[in-house]
Chain A
Amino acid sequence: MGILNTQIKNKLKSVLDNLPNDVILKVFTQEIECPTCRENTSLMQEIAEVSDKIKLEVLNFIINKEEAEKLKIDKIPATAVVGEKDYGIRFYGVPAGYEFNSFISALKLVGTKNSGLKTSTIEQLKGITKLVNIKVFVTLTCPYCPMAVELAHKFAFESDYITSEMINAQEFPHLANKYGVYAVPKVVINEKVSFEGAVPEDIFLTYITEATK
């Protein structure tokens, strides 16, 4: 029995088949010491099987260490959603539950190469010339976490300086602890600025700007 049912697969197929560009999923896994790696890999395999537009590369976190380092992957399960280039879009943990939505949105984002962000936002993002890392802590039962994740990924897509990570707080409790995650979505930018809640584009952008100061 797979993770996705036929109805979801059919719906997904119609979305993914229509993507103008291929999307590569670089999935990092390991058999031991990673209780959810297997589930993550299976989910990615099922998604990739749905459409030719999705290319899957399953990599071993230890054996393929160089590739992991190149993509700055430091924990597993990890999935990098890559297009003609690496936009810095990452999912740490299984993007199940509500995060399935943000995962599919990331595929659409990279596959259509259209973030749908406001022109003014894109202009402002172009002005950023410092590295920015956005961590979005989520739980899979949080209905408005995907909004924060999707927005962060869109910022990463538009700017070569921004990388964005969805992190499932349940799968990485030590990180949740470190960053004091007691409410989600919790966004941490460059270890410096943090806020809770799904905020609109403009506000998120102000936090990014603040973090680059």
Chain B
Amino acid sequence: MNSKVYELIILGCGPAGITAAIYAARKKMDFIIISKDIGGQTIYSSEVENYTGYQVITGAELVFKFKEHLDMFDVELHMPEEVKKVSKQDDIIKVETDKDIYFSKTLIIATGRIPRSLGVPNEEKFKGRGLTYCATCDAPLFRDKVVAVIGGGNSALDAAIQLTKYAKKIFLIDIASNLKADPVMVKKAFDSGIVDYIKNSKVVEIIGSNFVEGIKILNLENKKETILELQGIFVEIGSFASSQFIDIVEKTKDGEIIVDCANRTSKEGIFAAGDVTNVFAKQIIIACGEGAKAALSAYEYISKKF
């Protein structure tokens, strides 16, 4: 346990966390960052075309530039480390992670969003063994294979479209009764002739010994279970705010942390920024701006309070 009390701890090292850190460093605050990874969701974005100053840049490159900027300062980054619990007693905030316990006067939560997982038993075992969450990365590995795309929104259709170039057959498995994706995308996927739409259905089990060999799906209407033989599963069922580790701040019913215009949460000393909050529009440039605001807000709070 680290009994030191920092001025600030930043949780998350995506666009919001990195920008908050740059601002905090420039204010010479005594702080650390704790994060599972660097770059957050941005690294999954193949092409970013709406970050001012770059007409087009890959998410990975943008993250690299963010990191380079951050490296100009001597910032203590605890990574990979996962935050498990945040609590507060008197004026001191306690952060418990999978590795250690830390104390701080202020906290910025910038933990963004996490892709939703299937929630079936042996999911962990099949990750990277036929079960994947990055269609753009892994689609080419499934040439002439039978695959399933789970989801019915734009990202699911985007995955299906990418897979039409490689896979032999694609099952599109949707829990809803009709696709929510843009009609243009739906048409593009179905025009390939290899997409089979299975609606009202949910994946209940992944089958296989070492690698994915099939899935069991449950039809929610007639309660019938079916087994599909396939080698690849692409999960595209959206994301959720990564805020489960804290229950002392107010959240929306979807788990987004509620903040005011100066990124203050309902708990004094705790700030939040970016995709984890209820801020309107989840975008990189917005997350960066919010991160900057949160750092300045935390700085102002500390200057007045302590």
Whether A and B are associated in the same complex: the answer reads yes
Q: Could you tell me which residues of chain B, from 110 to 144, have a CB within 8 Å of some CB in chain A?
A: 127-130, 132, 134, 136-141, 143
Q: Could you tell me which residues of chain A, from 133 to 150, have a CB within 8 Å of some CB in chain B?
A: 139-147
Contact A182 B132 (CB under 8 A): yes
Q: Which residues of B contact A184 (CB under 8 A)?
A: 137-138, 141
Q: Does A200 belong to the interface (CB within 8 Å)? A: yes
With the chains together, A143 CA to B162 CA distance in Å? 15
User: Which B-chain residue is minimally distant from A139 (CB atoms)?
Assistant: B140
User: Which B-chain residue is minimally distant from A196 (CB atoms)?
Assistant: B128
The interface size of chain B toward A, counting residues with CB under 8 Å, comes to 32
Q: Does A3 belong to the interface (CB within 8 Å)? A: no
Q: Which residues of B contact A181 (CB under 8 A)?
A: 141
Distance (whole angstroms) from the CB of A94 to the closest CB of chain B: 13
Distance (whole angstroms) from the CB of A168 to the closest CB of chain B: 9
Q: Which residues of A contact B61 (CB under 8 A)?
A: 101
Contact B134 A142 (CB under 8 A): yes
Q: Could you tell me which residues of chain B, from 140 to 175, have a CB within 8 Å of some CB in chain A?
A: 140-141, 143, 162
Q: Does A1 belong to the interface (CB within 8 Å)? A: no
Contact B140 A169 (CB under 8 A): yes
With the chains together, A169 CA to B143 CA distance in Å? 11
- Central interface residue in A142, A176, A200, A203, by most chain B CB within 10 Å: A142
Q: Which residues of B contact A2 (CB under 8 A)?
A: none
Q: Does B192 belong to the interface (CB within 8 Å)? A: no
Contact A182 B130 (CB under 8 A): yes
Contact B139 A182 (CB under 8 A): no
Contact B137 A145 (CB under 8 A): yes
Q: Could you tell me which residues of chain B, from 31 to 83, have a CB within 8 Å of some CB in chain A?
A: 37-39, 43-46, 58-61, 64, 79-80
Q: Does B211 belong to the interface (CB within 8 Å)? A: yes
Q: Does B214 belong to the interface (CB within 8 Å)? A: no
Distance (whole angstroms) from the CB of A130 to the closest CB of chain B: 26
Distance (whole angstroms) from the CB of A126 to the closest CB of chain B: 22
With the chains together, A97 CA to B274 CA distance in Å? 30
With the chains together, A101 CA to B62 CA distance in Å? 13
- Central interface residue in B58, B128, B232, by most chain A CB within 10 Å: B128
With the chains together, A202 CA to B139 CA distance in Å? 29
Contact A143 B44 (CB under 8 A): yes
Picked from B80, B129, B130, B136, the residue with its CB within 8 Å of the CB of A142 is B136
With the chains together, A196 CA to B211 CA distance in Å? 15
With the chains together, A6 CA to B46 CA distance in Å? 23
Q: A143-B46, A182-B129 are in contact. Are A173 and B143 (CB under 8 A)?
A: yes
Q: A144-B43, A147-B60, A200-B79 are in contact. Are A180 and B137 (CB under 8 A)?
A: no
Contact B140 A143 (CB under 8 A): no
Contact A183 B141 (CB under 8 A): yes
Q: A143-B43, A143-B45, A203-B80 are in contact. Are A182 and B60 (CB under 8 A)?
A: no
Q: Which residues of A contact B162 (CB under 8 A)?
A: 141
Q: Which residues of A contact B143 (CB under 8 A)?
A: 170, 173
Picked from A145, A182, A200, the residue with its CB within 8 Å of the CB of B232 is A182
Q: Which residues of B contact A182 (CB under 8 A)?
A: 128-130, 132, 138, 141, 211-212, 232
Q: Does A154 belong to the interface (CB within 8 Å)? A: no
Q: Does A186 belong to the interface (CB within 8 Å)? A: yes
User: Which A-chain residue is minimally distant from B162 (CB atoms)?
Assistant: A141
Contact B140 A141 (CB under 8 A): yes
Q: Could you tell me which residues of chain A, from 167 to 213, have a CB within 8 Å of some CB in chain B?
A: 169-170, 173, 176, 180-184, 186, 196, 198-200, 203
Contact A144 B130 (CB under 8 A): no
> 15 additional contacts, CB 8 Å, given A143-B43, A144-B137, A173-B143?
A101-B61, A139-B137, A139-B139, A140-B140, A141-B137, A143-B60, A143-B136, A144-B39, A169-B140, A169-B141, A170-B141, A183-B128, A183-B134, A200-B37, A200-B79
A interface residues, Cβ below 8 angstroms from B:
98, 101, 139-147, 169-170, 173, 176, 180-184, 186, 196, 198-200, 203
Q: What are 28 contact pairs spanning A and B, CB under 8 A?
A: A98-B60, A101-B58, A101-B61, A139-B137, A139-B138, A139-B141, A141-B136, A141-B137, A141-B139, A141-B140, A141-B162, A143-B58, A143-B136, A144-B44, A144-B59, A145-B137, A146-B60, A170-B141, A180-B210, A181-B141, A182-B130, A182-B212, A183-B128, A183-B129, A183-B138, A184-B137, A196-B127, A196-B128
